Structure 1
Amino acid sequence: MENMETLSETLHLDSHLSLEDMPDLNLYMDQVIQLFERHFGDTKRNEDEKILTKTMINNYAKGKLFFPVNNKKYSKEHLILISMIYQMKGAISINDVKTTLNQLNEKVTDENAFDLQDFYGYYLQMTARNAEKFETDIQDHHKQVTKTIRELGDKDENYLEQLMLIAVFTNMSNYYRRAAEKLVDQLGTDQETN
């Protein structure tokens, strides 16, 4: 079985779109797609997977997941929102992403009311800390699973270790997804009452 350090390296936990990676000039859709492919391409499960497509961006725009573009060009603020959409859509539904970003879009379009770049910078700091914590957590899970499976004394030890790790990882993922969904539900209720 692959060790957890190697697994962690293959996940490319440091893949993100930093503020420095985003140009100060507005981009056309094809340029946005290229930028995302460059920065998130290593995270694809296989070569056929697409990070971002024209259809996805158009659907996000039609669904009002981000504020309208100007002259078919995407600003740095659009790139930030698309990056957040990209990260969230892997765990929660597009409707939940929309609910989550609705008020943020309003804040961004209200002149000088909110600095999205500062907010995103803090978000990136949190993701870096989360990556470090994740690496420690998967090492801890691996040690515990290995110990437990070895005590079973089964000849299919390698398979059982992988099975248990998959079960543990998906279980943790479900905890975080459910917590996020509860927060989205509260956010949706809060938005309805305002």
Structure 2
Amino acid sequence: MKKEQYEQLKNFQCPKWKDLPSFDIYMDQVIFFINDRLKPLYFDSEKNVITSNMVNNYVKNSIVKPPIKKHYKPYHLAFLIAVCILKRCYSLTEITQLIEIEQAMEAPSIGDVYDSFSACFDHYLHQIMAYGTVKEEYTFANPNKEQLLMNSVVKTIVYKIHTEFEMYDCIQKEDKD
């Protein structure tokens, strides 16, 4: 089982903006999409990555914008995916602050900010799963303060995922002994 989970993490691809449904979807489709795509990151849990109650809570707390006539758009999915990844290390208050900071970035679109986050996440996850550490930093052309913060935040999350994976492996070995 460990090898399969390791391979899933090592080869994980965070959905890019172009991979998100380009049409409006309902809550149950949002839940299915995110659980399906992010499950490898939650290798040690049988629970869903996200539930409708969680989505409603994020909307209620203004972490994510409310749906439009019960329809979710690509930007809803992008924010929810980011929240699901960020919650591995950060409180909802911190996540709200991080999202506000990243929204202040001078980027052409939400899709560009999301793709930067996604690419940064994939970059660090692949390196840390392969080598146990970062061999090469993710670089932005002319990094601003917000991008440097994104780099630090993502590294923290990925190191936590790696640490949990190694701990999970050790616990599994102890249970077999």
The TM-score, its normalising length taken from structure 2, stands at: 0.64
Partners in 1 of 2:122 and 2:48 — Cα distance?
Answer: 24
> Which structure's CA Rg is the greater one?
1
User: Residue 119 of structure 1 corresponds to which residue in structure 2?
Assistant: 113
Partners in 1 of 2:103 and 2:65 — Cα distance?
Answer: 6
User: Residue 128 of structure 1 corresponds to which residue in structure 2?
Assistant: 122
> Relative contact order (alpha carbons < 8 A, sep ≥ 6): 1 or 2 greater?
2
Partners in 2 of 1:104 and 1:131 — Cα distance?
Answer: 20
**Contact map agreement 1:15 1:40 (CA 8 A) in 2:** no
Q: Percent identity?
A: 20
Counterpart mapping for 1:109-188 below 5 A: 114-138=108-132
Root-mean-square deviation (Å): 3.2
Deviates further, 118-127 or 72-81? 118-127
User: Residue 34 of structure 1 corresponds to which residue in structure 2?
Assistant: 32
Q: 2:42 is matched by which residue type in structure 1?
A: K
Count of aligned pairs: 137
Counterpart mapping for 1:93-112 below 5 A: 93-102=91-100, 104=102
Q: 2:55 is matched by which residue type in structure 1?
A: I
Task: Return the structure number with greater helix share.
Answer: 1
User: Residue 51 of structure 1 corresponds to which residue in structure 2?
Assistant: 49
- 1:47-89, Cα deviation, whole Å (9 max, x unpaired): 6311110100000000100122210111101111111101101
**Contact map agreement 1:22 1:76 (CA 8 A) in 2:** yes
User: Which consecutive residues of structure 1, in runs of 5 or more, have no partner in the other structure?
Assistant: 108-112, 141-171, 178-194
User: Which consecutive residues of structure 2, in runs of 5 or more, have no partner in the other structure?
Assistant: 135-154, 161-177
The TM-score, its normalising length taken from structure 1, stands at: 0.59
**Contact map agreement 1:15 1:43 (CA 8 A) in 2:** no
Partners in 1 of 2:98 and 2:56 — Cα distance?
Answer: 19
Query: What is the deviation of 1:121?
Result: 1.4
Q: 1:78 aligns with which of 76, 79, 84?
A: 76
Runs of 4+ in 1 over 6 A off after TM superposition: 4-7
